[in-house]
């Protein structure tokens, strides 16, 4: 199978790591469909994709809804005959202490980060097993391996991806379907920029000062870039990664967070 006839779905594909992965897969000739809630605004989606808008197709997708997920996958299959690659990059993040932890924060992060990934995998698995080839990549986090105060919901949702991935790996193994996860530390995405902006407002520090503080969280003293995650994802989605399944690949720059 050559990259030119592969079809990929990337959730959360209009920002951050999801967008970088979508662009990287498209560079290899893969036909990419990105799905996010914001993709319902066609003009906005095309503006984000820029020159890639002609070969990366954005469609509205809410991973919290089984009906929406199943319809999205069915549309891709109708257009392309199947799904070869699934990258689950859609995710949300919010903080709360355990004491008086709001139910909504817990439910949102479990529903999007973990259950949304499950819904996408459930929808594509029949098509991949029928074809005898598939690559499933879940965006986890170093938070899947390490706790952090005020992050119970996020850490639990990301740790759950590791258990989910092991089961998918076993069920897909005999059918040429692999399932792996990538667990980055801080990556310089729009989400991180929101944290940086909040810290600037709270501390009065400059952008450069706050950014440097985040960079110091790892021994390399550099923030991981979305394109670095995308390069790893592209390899894990390739024919060369046939034997790589059930693994979780930490991109941590030497840091545990």
Query: Could you confirm whether 214 is annotated as catalytic?
Result: no
Cβ count within 10 A of residue 32? 26
Name the active-site residue from 93, 154, 214, 249: 154
201's enclosing H/E stretch is helix 190-203
Residue 100 region by backbone torsions, left for phi larger than 0, else alpha for psi between -120 and 50, else beta: left
Find how far residue 6's CA is from the centre of its chain. Answer: 19
Place of tokens 């199947």: 82
CB 169 within 8 A of CB 178: yes
Task: Answer whether 181's CB lies under 8 Å from 167's CB.
Answer: no
Instruction: Determine the Cα–Cα distance for residues 250 and 236; give it in Å rounded to an integer.
Output: 13
Single out the residue of 82, 39, 42 nearest to residue 61, CA to CA: 39
| Catalytic machinery residues | 154
């Amino acid at each position: 199978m050559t990259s030119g006839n592969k079809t990929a779905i990337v959730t959360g594909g209009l920002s951050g790591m999801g967008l970088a992965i979508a662009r990287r897969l498209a560079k290899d000739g893969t036909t990419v469909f990105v799905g996010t809630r914001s993709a319902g605004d066609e003009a906005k989606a095309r503006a984000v994709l820029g020159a890639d808008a002609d070969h990366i197709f954005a469609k509205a997708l809410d991973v919290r809804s089984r009906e929406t997920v199943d319809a999205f996958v069915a549309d891709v299959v109708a257009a392309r005959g199947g799904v070869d690659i699934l990258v689950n990059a859609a995710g949300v993040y919010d903080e709360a202490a355990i004491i008086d932890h709001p139910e909504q924060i817990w439910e949102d992060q479990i529903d999007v980060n973990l259950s949304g990934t499950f819904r996408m995998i459930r929808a594509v698995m029949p098509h991949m097993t029928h074809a005898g080839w598939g690559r499933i990549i879940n965006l986890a986090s170093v938070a899947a391996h390490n706790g952090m105060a005020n992050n119970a919901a996020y850490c639990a949702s990301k740790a759950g991806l590791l258990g989910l991935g092991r089961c998918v790996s076993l069920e897909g193994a005999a059918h040429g379907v692999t399932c792996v996860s990538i667990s980055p530390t801080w990556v310089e995405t729009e989400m991180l920029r929101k944290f940086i902006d909040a810290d600037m407002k709270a501390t009065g520090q400059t952008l450069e000062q706050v950014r440097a503080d985040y960079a110091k969280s790892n021994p390399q003293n550099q923030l991981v870039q979305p394109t670095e995650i995308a390069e790893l994802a592209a390899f894990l989605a390739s024919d060369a990664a046939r034997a790589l399944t059930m693994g979780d690949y930490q991109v941590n720059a030497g840091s545990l967070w």
